[in-house]
Amino acid sequence: MPSSIGSTPDEDIFVTIVRGLGRARMIREVIKVLDLVSKFERNPSLKLFNSILDVLVKEDIDLAREFYRKKMMGCGVRGDEYTFWSLMNEVAAPNEVTFNILISAYCREENLVQALVMLEKSFGYGFVPDVVTLTKVIEILSNVGRVSEAVEVLERVESKGGNVDVVAYNILIKGFCRTGKTKIAFRYLKEMENKGCLPNVDTYNALISGFCEAGMLDSALDVFHEMKTAGISWNFVTYDTLIGGLCSGGRTKDGFKILELMEESKGGSGGRISPYNSVVYGLYKENRMDEAVEFLTKMGKMFPRAVDRSFRILGFCEEGCVENAKRVYDQMTGEGGVPSAIVYAYLIHGLCQKGFAKEAIELTSEMFKLAYFPIASTFNALINEFCSQGKVGSAIKFPGGHD
Q: What is the mean pLDDT of residues 233-257?
A: 96
Helix or strand run (H / E) with residue 84: helix 81-89
Q: What is the mean pLDDT of residues 285-294?
A: 94
Provide the whole-model pTM.
0.75
Q: What is the pLDDT of residues 360-376, one digit of tens each?
A: 888 999 999 999 998 88
Residue 350 has pLDDT above 80, yes or no: yes
CA–CA dist 256, 245 (Å, integer):
12
Q: Is the same domain home to 258 and 342?
A: no
Q: Is the same domain home to 243 and 322?
A: no
Q: pLDDT confidence of 102, banded at 50, 70, 90?
A: confident
Classify residue 131: in a domain, yes or no: no
Higher pLDDT, 101 or 190: 190
Q: Is the same domain home to 246 and 313?
A: no
Classify residue 325: in a domain, yes or no: yes
Residue 35 has pLDDT above 90, yes or no: no
Give me the pLDDT at residue 84, please. 59
Say which range, 99-103, 183-187, 207-211, 381-385, has the weakest mean pLDDT. 381-385
Within 10 angstroms of residue 330's Cβ, the number of other Cβ atoms is 10
| Structural contact between residues 58 and 90, judged by C-beta atoms closer than 8 angstroms | yes
CA–CA dist 181, 85 (Å, integer):
38
- How many structural domains comprise the chain? 3
Q: Is the same domain home to 261 and 308?
A: no
- Domain encompassing residue 222: 177-272
Which of 65, 92, 119 delimits the end of a domain?
92
Q: Is the same domain home to 265 and 304?
A: no
Classify residue 74: in a domain, yes or no: yes
| Structural contact between residues 299 and 271, judged by C-beta atoms closer than 8 angstroms | no
Q: Is the same domain home to 216 and 314?
A: no
Q: Is the same domain home to 219 and 311?
A: no
Which of 220, 255, 272 delimits the end of a domain?
272
Within 10 angstroms of residue 399's Cβ, the number of other Cβ atoms is 11
Residue 13 has pLDDT above 90, yes or no: no
Classify residue 57: in a domain, yes or no: yes
Say which range, 83-97, 228-242, 381-395, has the weakest mean pLDDT. 83-97
In terms of DSSP H, where are the helices of 109-216? 112-124, 131-143, 147-159, 166-178, 182-194, 201-213
Interhelix angle for 112-124 vs 81-89, to 10°?
A: 10
Least Cα distance to 167 among 129, 206, 128, 194 occurs for: 206
| Structural contact between residues 279 and 256, judged by C-beta atoms closer than 8 angstroms | yes
